[in-house]
Amino acid sequence: MNKQEITSVLSELYKITGFRMSLHGTDFEEIAAFPIEGSPFCTAVNKIDLEHSRCIECDKIACTKALNSKGTHSYKCRYGLSGAVSPLYHLGTLTGFLMMGQVADSREAAERAAELLSEKTAGRANVPSDLIKIVDPDTASSYIKIMTICAHYLTMSNAMNSAKPTVAELAKEYISDNLDKRILISDICDALKCSKSTLLTTFKKQYGVTVNSYITETKLDLAKGLLYEGKMTISEIAEATGFSDQSYFSKVFSAKYGIPPSEYRSSAKITEQ
């Protein structure tokens, strides 16, 4: 993670919007924020364990909705305050969430939030409504659009690297495990729970070749090794490398190497001698 770049983005967003900006990992834990301290209202809520845990659950639900919609999700917290969240990616793999919140959209909303906090905590937490920032809905909508642009920037700049395997890396692993089968793009997408466009784009970006080209190259590399060993018939090798039949295998092999599999096997033996 490029923490300096991320903190700079959060700081600039805060200057523009007045919303507290925070960055969360894939398991929803807070990684970075500006300002570091929460608003007086959220700070009061977080001092009460039960209310804090319920607010975390509310944020998790918002993150899940943003993930499902593949974009920014605007929502109201349990106290009626406004917030928003955008998912962040690295080479097609989810790396975290950018969150904005929480503010009231009117004086009445701020007063209701303050009253509700006092009710829910039986008077243990009281925050004057004038300490809750108010942003009218139209302005808040504009701020959320700016946040969405910043989320795209953080994604495109790969500021949040993934400690988990990328979609492209997982696709390579799937291909390696299924070389004896006919591998379709749709099979990989189904296994990885990703879209076709995400798979094709991230794979080409990370490895410089298309998925189909990589599948063919990997199958033929395996076939060359098996031909060199000489323990299997060409028909058996075609089956072991997931080609539909020996004829199609020979056609693809010849197109790639300029000679049929049988001739390659013979030349390998001569070279060995």
pLDDT at site 91: 66
* Cβ count near 243 (within 10 Å): 23
Q: Is the pLDDT of residue 124 over 60?
A: yes
Question: What is the reported pLDDT for 268?
Answer: 63
Single out the residue of 254, 246, 245, 173 nearest to residue 215, CA to CA. Answer: 173
| Interval 225-249 mean pLDDT | 91
pLDDT reading at 92 higher than 80: no
Q: List pLDDT tens digits, range 66-76.
A: 888 888 999 99
Strand positions, DSSP E, the chain: 20-24, 30-34, 73-76, 82-90, 93-103
Q: pLDDT above 90 covers what percent of the chain?
A: 43
Looking at the DSSP bridge assignments, the partners of residue 82 are 76, 103
Q: What is the pLDDT of residues 191-220, one digit of tens each?
A: 988 889 989 998 998 889 999 999 999 999
pTM: 0.58
